[in-house]
């Protein structure tokens, strides 16, 4: 092999190495560019989703404020025939923006769908009632036991809830007037749950929580149950001497005319039931606002707990859950 042939071979090898390096660097740059674009798109989508859900929350607060103003002019009652109780069925987001000529059209990206609802938090049994003193109130313990039995929860569920809550809120268990705060941990107790979904921290199974969650709530302070909005299961468990049939009569009766006061409920309930003990009401101060944004196969849900203080709508708790939908 001549010297010139060897030189040409070395030059060719060097050129191939240089081309390989350039290709590798170019591929790396393209990947970094792609990754940066994806991160920017994800951040933009997250920000847009946050704005949309915040807008839905503000809309719900406005509806509740208008209802409060109406209550101040008329009888202060809250029932399922009011505008706030009508859920927002899933609708294309573009339908809300039809009047905006600058809004993006459906051809410029995937369709987004918005839905939501406002629920009376006082239609549920408030577990805060179990923390009203150094000892568990016997009546409240019976209420929880009846409620657990009605939803076919596992035996001993009520005891697990009471033990866990009183361990997580030792100050509230010894003083009924102690205000609630966000999730914290005591010296020896478990982390304090801020919502019903977090009761699994206290030892409840997912199945038990699924059965109980439509009927219980954990609010910052003890509250009466609104007889105009509560389901029959909660009403039947709330009073001694009640059954589902009597509770169903009340539920059917309030459809024609909402209860104006708790005394009117006695016409549907057994004579021995006392509705004037302050454990029941016909109006509410706490509401749960749920907003759902569906985009392709992903759904973002925001749940907010609102306290209505006169005409002020105060957001106490807000949580978001993102999930992939089955196709």
| pLDDT tens readout for residues 189-206 | 678 888 888 888 888 889
Whether 180 shows a pLDDT value over 90: the answer reads: no
- Is 3 within a domain? yes
Please state the domain count of the chain.
1
* DSSP strand pairing (225-226 vs 286-295): unpaired
- Is 15 within a domain? yes
- pLDDT, one tens digit per residue, over 149-166 is 999 999 999 999 999 998
d(CA 306, CA 288): 6
* Alpha carbon separation from 246 to 14, 74, 139, 238 (Å, rounded): 92, 29, 19, 12
* Sign, CA torsion 127/309/194/323: positive
- Is 56 within a domain? no
- pLDDT, one tens digit per residue, over 18-55 is 888 888 888 888 888 878 877 777 777 778 788 889 98
133 Cα distance to chain centroid: 28
- Is 77 within a domain? no
- Is 326 within a domain? no
- Is 29 within a domain? yes
State the pLDDT confidence band at 188, using cuts at 50, 70 and 90.
low
- Helix ranges, the chain (H): 3-73, 93-96, 138-150, 157-168, 170-174, 206-212, 232-238, 244-256
At residue 2, the pLDDT reads 63
**Residue showing tokens 């409920």:** 265
Whether 77 shows a pLDDT value over 90: the answer reads: yes
More confident residue, 30 or 214: 214
Residue numbers of the domain that contains 17: 1-35
* 3-class secondary structure, 313: strand
At residue 185, the pLDDT reads 44
Mean pLDDT of 209-216: 94
State the pLDDT confidence band at 178, using cuts at 50, 70 and 90.
very low
d(CA 133, CA 140): 12
**Residue showing tokens 């993102």:** 322
- Is 83 within a domain? no
Choose the most confident range, by mean pLDDT, from 93-97, 117-121, 261-265. Answer: 117-121
- Is 278 within a domain? no
- pLDDT, one tens digit per residue, over 255-308 is 999 999 999 999 999 888 888 788 999 999 999 999 999 887 788 999 999 999
- Among 294, 301, 235, CA closest to 269: 235
Phi-psi region of 255 (alpha: psi -120 to 50; beta: other; left: phi over 0): alpha
- Using CB atoms within 10 Å of the CB of residue 265, give its burial: 0 to 12 exposed, 13 to 18 middle, 19+ buried: buried
Mean pLDDT of 55-63: 93
- pTM of the model as a whole: 0.81
């Amino acid at each position: 092999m001549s010297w010139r042939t060897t030189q040409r071979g070395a030059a060719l090898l060097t050129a191939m190495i240089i081309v390989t390096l350039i290709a590798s660097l170019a591929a790396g740059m393209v990947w970094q560019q792609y990754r940066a674009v994806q991160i920017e798109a994800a951040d933009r989508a997250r920000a847009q989703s946050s704005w949309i859900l915040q807008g839905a929350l503000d809309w719900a607060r406005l509806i509740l404020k208008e209802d409060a103003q109406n209550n101040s002019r008329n009888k202060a009652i809250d029932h399922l025939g009011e505008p706030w109780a009508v859920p927002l069925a899933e609708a294309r987001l573009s339908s809300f923006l039809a009047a905006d000529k600058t809004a993006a059209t459906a051809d410029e990206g995937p369709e987004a769908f918005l839905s939501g609802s406002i629920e009376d938090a006082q239609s549920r049994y408030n577990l805060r009632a179990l923390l009203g003193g150094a000892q568990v109130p016997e009546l409240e313990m019976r209420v929880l036991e009846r409620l657990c039995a009605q939803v076919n929860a596992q035996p001993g569920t009520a005891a697990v809830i009471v033990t866990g809550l009183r361990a997580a809120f030792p100050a509230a268990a010894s003083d009924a007037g102690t205000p609630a705060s966000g999730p914290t941990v005591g010296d020896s107790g478990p982390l304090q749950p801020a919502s019903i979904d977090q009761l699994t921290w206290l030892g409840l199974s997912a199945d038990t929580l699924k059965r109980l969650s439509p009927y219980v709530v954990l609010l910052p302070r003890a509250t009466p149950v609104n007889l105009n909005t509560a389901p029959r299961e909660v009403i039947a468990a709330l009073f001694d001497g009640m059954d589902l049939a009597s509770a169903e009569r009340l539920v059917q009766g309030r459809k024609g005319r909402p209860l104006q006061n708790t005394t009117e409920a006695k016409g549907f309930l057994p004579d021995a039931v006392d509705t004037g003990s302050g454990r029941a009401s016909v109006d509410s101060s706490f509401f749960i606002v749920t907003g759902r944004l569906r985009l392709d196969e992903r759904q973002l849900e925001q749940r907010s707990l609102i306290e209505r203080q006169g005409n002020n709508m105060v957001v106490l708790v807000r949580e978001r859950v993102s999930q992939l939908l089955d196709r």
